[in-house]
Amino acid sequence: MSDNTQKTQKMPRIAIKAEWERKSESTPGFYKYIVTIREEDGEITKSPVYGRNMQDALSRIVRHERSERIVRKTEKIPVWVYLLLFFMTMGTGSILSYQQNSPVYFGAGVGLLLFALGAYQWRTRD
């Protein structure tokens, strides 16, 4: 295989160094850490992170970045798509409830929407 046919891999984003700085003054039981991160392009950045321990602080960084990635992707979706899904769900639930003469289907549609909103909020929490 020649060098031209091999794929170039991106350097992974990794934490190079994490060091304890001080106890949190506003929240007892939390500590402030300074985490040095090598970005995919090779740039080195330092980020202050709070956590109960170092593993908690690192998981907070990962969770925050994951939520930022989700927000960036969902911001590209036009509002009319969300409205269309809302009206389809509520319309289907109300039509089925009317035909069956039972509010169960409408309640299931509302429950599905609340579950979807809760799942989105849980995934993007800080």
The pLDDT, as a whole number, for residue 3 is 55
> For the whole model, what pTM was predicted?
0.50
The pLDDT, as a whole number, for residue 8 is 65
Listed residue (36, 30, 63) closest to 48, CA to CA: 36
The pLDDT, as a whole number, for residue 69 is 81
Rounded Cα distance, 13 and 41, in Å: 9
pLDDT along the chain (126 residues), means of 10: 60 76 82 84 81 83 81 80 81 82 82 81 68
Rounded Cα distance, 103 and 93, in Å: 8
Listed residue (33, 30, 32) closest to 19, CA to CA: 33
Rounded Cα distance, 67 and 61, in Å: 10
The pLDDT, as a whole number, for residue 46 is 86
